[in-house]
Amino acid sequence: MIPAHTNKLAGEASPYLLQHAHNPVNWYPWGEEALNLAVEQNKPILVSIGYAACHWCHVMERESFENEATAAIMNKHFINIKIDREERPDLDHIYMDALQAMSGQGGWPLNVFLLPNKQPFYGGTYYPPVKAYNRPSWTEVLEAISQAYRERRGELEQQAQTLTEHLHNSNKFGVEASKSALVPINELFNKEQCDTAATAIMAQADKEWGGFGRAPKFPGTFSIRYLLQYDHAFGDEAARKQSLLSLDKMIQGGLYDQLGGGFARYSTDEMWLAPHFEKMLYDNALLIDAMADAYQITQEQTYLDTIHHTLQFISREMTSPDGAFYAALDADSEGVEGKFYTWSKAEVEEVLGDDAELFCRFYDIREHGNWEETNILWITEPVKEFVAGTGLPIEKLEVILAEGRSKLLLARDKRIRPGLDDKILLGWNALLIHACCKAYSVSGTQAYREMAEKAMNFVLAAMQQPGDSGALYHTYKNGSAKYPAFLDDYAYVIRALIALSEVTGNLFYIRRAKDLTKFVEAAFGDEDEIYFYYTATGQTDVIVRKKEIYDGAVPSGNAVMACNLWYLSIVFDQRKWAERATGMVSGLAQTATRYPTSFGVWASLLMQMVLGTKELAVVGTDYKGRMNDINKKYIPFKVLLGVEREEKDMPLLVERFAEGETLIYLCEHYACVKPVKYIEEIINL
């Protein structure tokens, strides 16, 4: 039965917008109709931004947006616009920055009030239906804003103008960057900067539970990977230990789905026990990257097992029939956060019978629960230590635990599932494609390379904009793609194409990366030809073109583009790209070394500038096999190309063919070593 009220969101594809399509609020999607209406009716705009897997977004909807009386106030005084932040990250960035400037805080749901000209003047996050948590009620906020708009319009316009100027000014960073192209790299970057960044990361390290900072704890994969690179380059056992401890504790924790695989977005406590249960595609992609590094360094089977388990989850629950990847799984089911994932002890005993006692001890399942009177499965003692108290051989214990997990997973599959956000996001797909390439590199599992190629082939075809510009779309669902792609999308796709080139030996991918890079330069480059805007030139519905530089939950598009430019400058001998990458890093070098937990990708690229890049070319009939051998090794800062004979457009692959042989060439710092047949010979040197 269709609810009586249907608003303008009913025609949208986003699962998040569709969740609000039958609210009594007269919601509009962002677009000309709503924006023009605000001007015509001289009403302030309420923009409410969230996403499908956001717990507090659901709470505010139930409490306020489904309430007829509250909706009546909203409809009378405002033009109400709902935005899925994953569909329109450009708008989310702008209005989140405005909120943080106003209040020093941010988060979702993001509720921001705009003048009819789209300039923000007030905002907040979650508001309760009645005054609570030291927050005014939502209706109090609505009434106060409406009154201020009628009676103190001039003040609001002044505030909006000040905020808009702040947004413009936030783009003014890295002013010295353009001068750095004239300075030798060894004068711009040095080991001391790498040391400073490592020290700053370690100062935030939790030495007991892993990770960085206090609760809530996010995975921090950029910091983990930086410390592994730092130890590999300079020898720092504490850095290595902290990285591995962080991964180990996350894998053992409730952040990790012990039954089904895959990681939740963050932990609400320092021990990684109680996650915020939503599962995002990007977190799993970035964690696979980090675990692949850890496995290459340690050969510890746990990391490989977790990669396999996580990709099984992705394949089972987050992969479309076309081979592309869905965005997210909700935290809630049946209106309760985590209900799908948690267990009572009685439930476990009913499913596992005689094996329940041992299983419950290992996964800390208690009579009265280990979290909010229910149980999250987590490992308080690794198998090798736990087995000592059981009298069992370790192989027998592992069989009992595996069988128990399998039985509980079958039982869990009968429950009402969390909501699936089944839109295909270009950038997040590219992150997962990169992760599949890393997984294939370390495991040799052909299915992962096939996953990567299938997804890439799909998004490049289905998300291509009309014409021959090379432009792509940001999101795809129900057979159609929309919204021009953003800088992050292109940066991650180029990075994924580079990774595909390395694991397949197919030079189509690296050439496509080159073409997309040229497009990004033209469509996103700033006036100084150094950094890149988040939105393409010509987009008219944003009040400011932002330049994003922080490595947050996902890497900064600017940071990834700097890495791409550096890599491709070596492949295609493009000096201008090398200079641009150098300029980008030098403009943020001081910031990245002081605040590396917010600039982790930048810090890694700076380290690469200090250490140099291993330029590896494999030429001969068995080039793909030798490339696979190289990919198994931990070589953090490398360019890898392979070909049977030679390729004229790539200097690394010219005049290197030797009849009847497959040879590996290594060049670094403008010098090459004697070619060898196997990568081990170079590593032994």
Q: Tally the domains of the chain.
A: 4
Instruction: Judge if 446 and 531 occupy the same domain.
Output: yes
Residue 109 falls inside a structural domain: yes
Domain check: are 587 and 669 in the same one? no
Least confident interval from 102-106, 521-525, 649-653: 102-106
Q: Contact, 470 vs 661, CB < 8 A?
A: no
What is the average per-residue pLDDT within 355-379?
97
Closest alpha carbon to 188 in 453, 521, 578, 549: 578
Residue 120, phi then psi, degrees to nearest 5 = -80, 145
User: Model pTM?
Assistant: 0.95
Rounded CA-CA distance 609/582 in Å is: 8
Q: Considering 115, 145, 169, which residue would you say is the last residue of a domain?
A: 169
H helices of 363-506, in order, are: 383-386, 394-412, 426-443, 446-462, 487-504
| pLDDT, mean of residues 331-335 | 90
* Nearest residue to 488 via CA among 544, 436, 430, 539: 430
Beta bridge partners of 256: 263
Residue 176 lies in a domain: no
Supply the pLDDT for residue 681. Answer: 87
Residues composing the chain: 685
Q: What is the pLDDT of residue 53?
A: 86
Q: What is the mean pLDDT of residues 388-413?
A: 96
Residues 323 and 189 in one domain: yes
Q: What is the mean pLDDT of residues 10-39?
A: 96
Any domain includes 178: no
Query: Which own/partner contact pairs does 31-36 have at CB distance under 8 Å and 24+ positions apart?
Result: 31/541, 33/8, 34/8, 34/79, 34/81, 35/116, 35/118, 35/541
476-509 pLDDT per residue, tens: 999 999 999 999 999 999 999 999 999 999 999 9
For residue 4, what pLDDT band results from cuts at 50, 70 and 90? low
CA angle 137–141–146, rounded 5-degree value: 150
- The answer to whether residues 436 and 308 belong to one domain is yes
Q: Quick one: pLDDT at residue 668?
A: 85
Beta strands in 105-182 (DSSP E): 110-114, 120-124
Are 58 and 419 contacting, i.e. CB atoms less than 8 angstroms apart?
Answer: no
What is the per-residue pLDDT for 176? 55
Give residue 472's identity as a one-letter amino acid code.
L
State how beta strands 671-672 and 638-643 pair.
unpaired
Residues 396 and 438 in one domain: no
Instruction: Give yes or no: residues 214 and 317 share one domain.
Output: yes
Give CA–CA dist 514/461, Å, rounded: 17
> In Å, how far are 356, 546, 646 from 556, measured between CA atoms?
46, 12, 35
State the average pLDDT for the chain: 94
Residues 6+ apart with CB under 8 A from 590: none
* Closest listed residue to residue 276, CA positions, set 434, 443, 458, 56: 56
Q: Is residue 483 part of a domain?
A: yes
| Domain co-membership, 225 together with 330 | yes
- Express each pLDDT in 181-226 by its tens digit: 556 677 789 999 999 999 999 999 999 999 999 999 999 999 999 9
Q: Are residue 470 and residue 536 in the same domain, yes or no?
A: yes
Which percentage of the chain shows pLDDT scores above 90? Answer: 88
Instruction: Indicate whether 113 and 188 sit together in one domain.
Output: no
Beta bridge partners of 325: 319
Distance CA 431, CA 495 (A): 8
Nearest CA to 95 out of 553, 489, 541, 425 is that of 541
Confidence of residue 5 (pLDDT cuts 50, 70, 90): confident
Q: Is the pLDDT of residue 7 over 70?
A: yes
Q: Is residue 422 predicted with pLDDT exceeding 90?
A: yes
| Pick from 604, 601, 558: nearest CA to 583 | 558
Same domain for 542 and 649?
Answer: no
| Residue 230 three-state SS | helix
β-pairing, 79-84 vs 45-50, is: parallel
Domain that holds residue 351: 345-412
Q: Which pLDDT tens digit goes with each residue over 576-615?
A: 999 999 999 999 999 999 999 999 999 999 999 999 999 9
| Buried/exposed code over 405-429 (b: 16+ C-beta within 10 A; e: otherwise) | bebbeebbeeeeebbbbbbbbbbbb
User: Does residue 155 sit within a domain?
Assistant: yes
Cα(606)–Cα(101) distance, integer angstroms: 29
Beta strands 663-668; 671-672: pairing state: antiparallel
Tokens encoding 300: 């510890």
